[in-house]
Structure 1
Amino acid sequence: MNNKYNINFCYYPGKSEEVIVFIHGIPTNHHLWDLILPYVKGHYSVLTVDLIGYGNSDRAPYYDLTLPKQAEYIINLLDHLGISKAHFVGHDLGGGIVQILAVSYADRVESIVIADGVCFANWPLPKVVSIRYPTAEEFQPTPLFIERMLREGLYYQQLLKPNLLYDFLRPFSGPNGPQDLKQASFALNHHQTEDLVPFLPKVKVPATLLWGQYDRYLPPYWGKLLHHHLPYSSFKIISDAGHYSMIDNPNRFAEELIHHMESIT
């Protein structure tokens, strides 16, 4: 691989030659998709990644954790695996990365799904910015901060089961965890998606935009606006779901994902 950092990934070959790549956001990792994978594994080939700076992937300084850099790392991983084109599913920051892939690496993209994604200038969230220079205990970049962020982003908080919470907290629970999370925050700048806006109408691949009905971090308004800028897109609300719609309502999320895939393959 051309990456100077090691990226953690899981690859599950399927009956179909179509490959779905799942990309998470902050502060999660590839376990974000655990409830969705059973619906698509076996039929489609599936690739989940931990972005650099997250999960079990290498840590890096903030300037190597920007969304354009993350897109580059993912393309390098596809090259390493011999995958020429793929369908990309991105949540939160992953939604921004998917937009970058569709604009800057169009020849590698079969289709895109953006779930509760960053776009335009709607990010980084004040909550994420607050950990850069914390002014109170509640803003310290600790596992407790991550847990609060996850719970506040869910519609059904009880669905954050202990094992899933552990999978999200563990990568940032070591002595370097607070500094690693700070570096991830410093990497985020809304220009990384805002600069894409003039090019979005030129994206020719099918796009499905899935937004949690009660997303308090990135409200559905942003998905609707993105829908108006992407000519081959559809916009769907995931009912009874917050920012983490794939956890709140995995059945509906998977249903929309499968519908997306079946409509174009």
Structure 2
Amino acid sequence: MNHQTFRSRQKSIEINGIIDESLTVAYTDVGKGDPVLLLHGIPTWSYLFHEIIEPLSERYRVIAPDLIGYGYSDRRDRFDRSIAVQADVIERFLAELDIESAHFVAHDIGGGVALILADRVPKLVRSMVLSNSVAYDSWPVDEMLTLGHPRNAKMKPEEMKELLEKAFEFGLSRPERLTDEFREGVMAPYLDPEGIVSLVRNASSLNTNHTTPLTDRLSRMSQPTRLLWGVDDRWQPVSTAERLIRDMPHAELHPIKNCSHWVPQDAPEDFTALTLDLLNQF
């Protein structure tokens, strides 16, 4: 699915209580059944899951929001974009949809959001699939630290495009998965002036202090958790996953070979099959 079609299917909802006015969240909501929430990372948006949503929606209600500051959700300079606040927004977002619990499928910083909520509101998080997730002090990576400098808010579109193109070189292992459709889709929200500023603000918000406090509480998380990890990832190495399975009593690791950071794009069949295998146990 190209990004224009994906975007045309998105809905929007207003979320109150985060700042002094409402925030707009763009999201996909398809299928019927138990709710499955897909959370993307940086520098992507919910389009990361464009090949995953359809097969999951054959059995489940699949909900894929753009985190605030990302994709086509609110991008104004009015709010904190940290994963702690993202967790606040997602909690309110699910409440607005009258969802009391969901299975969380989360990538990169989306995984950090899932872990925060699994600790804070255990009943909200029924199970977790974490894919090359941030955890401990494994982040932010050097590229995001560089991007987050305020001067980059003045980047020209061609400069941002060049930066994102370099990320694609490391984010995927399988050359055939680096399609024009994926490249253009991921970059689309971030090549206009508002999108450039927003992505820079997103990068500047990344803070390891929002995951390190969870370290001593991981052992208390009772949610069945499956770690789908691309073993070629240099940003969130598989050693992080190996540490998580030692600390989380209900976690299991499924390393995926010849696969890097963006697992839903690099290995969509494996990602879908292993996710469904966990979900179908409920």
If the length of structure 1 is used for normalisation, what is the TM-score?
A: 0.93
* 2:68 paired with 1:68: no
Measured against aligned partners, the alpha-carbon deviations of 1:199-220 in whole angstroms (never above 9, x if no partner) come to 1111111111111021111110
Unaligned runs of 5+ in 2: 1-14
> Match of 2:254?
236
Aligned pairs for 1:152-163 within 5 A: 152-163=170-181
Aligned pairs for 1:180-219 within 5 A: 180-219=198-237
Which one of the candidate residues 33, 36, 40 is aligned to 1:20? 36
Q: CA deviation at 1:63?
A: 5.6
Aligned pairs for 1:77-88 within 5 A: 77-88=93-104
**Counterparts of 1:71 and 1:150 in 2: how far apart (Å)?**
27
* 2:47 paired with 1:47: no
**Aligned partner of 1:222: which letter?**
T
> Match of 2:169?
151
* 2:106 paired with 1:90: yes
> Match of 2:274?
256
**Aligned partner of 2:66: which letter?**
D
> Match of 2:134?
118
> Match of 1:167?
185
Measured against aligned partners, the alpha-carbon deviations of 1:10-33 in whole angstroms (never above 9, x if no partner) come to 11132x2x1100000000001101
Q: CA deviation at 1:57?
A: 0.4
CA distance change for structure 1 residues 24 and 6 in 2, over 3 Å: closer, same or farther? Answer: same
Report the RMSD for the aligned CA atoms in angstroms.
Answer: 1.8
Given that 1:141 and 1:181 are in contact with CA atoms closer than 8 Å, whether structure 2 keeps it comes out as: no
**Counterparts of 1:57 and 1:160 in 2: how far apart (Å)?**
25
Given that 2:82 and 2:205 are in contact with CA atoms closer than 8 Å, whether structure 1 keeps it comes out as: yes
Given that 1:100 and 1:196 are in contact with CA atoms closer than 8 Å, whether structure 2 keeps it comes out as: yes
Given that 2:83 and 2:206 are in contact with CA atoms closer than 8 Å, whether structure 1 keeps it comes out as: yes
Given that 2:147 and 2:204 are in contact with CA atoms closer than 8 Å, whether structure 1 keeps it comes out as: no
> Match of 2:5?
none
**Aligned partner of 1:65: which letter?**
R
**Aligned partner of 1:233: which letter?**
A
Measured against aligned partners, the alpha-carbon deviations of 1:88-125 in whole angstroms (never above 9, x if no partner) come to 01101111111011001112111111100000000000
**Counterparts of 2:49 and 2:35 in 1: how far apart (Å)?**
15
Q: CA deviation at 1:87?
A: 0.4
* 2:258 paired with 1:245: no
**Counterparts of 1:235 and 1:62 in 2: how far apart (Å)?**
38
**Counterparts of 1:157 and 1:216 in 2: how far apart (Å)?**
17
CA distance change for structure 1 residues 5 and 157 in 2, over 3 Å: closer, same or farther? Answer: farther
Aligned-residue sequence identity (percent) comes to 28
Tell me the matched-pair count: 259
SS at match of 2:139: coil
Given that 2:148 and 2:202 are in contact with CA atoms closer than 8 Å, whether structure 1 keeps it comes out as: no
Q: CA deviation at 1:34?
A: 0.9
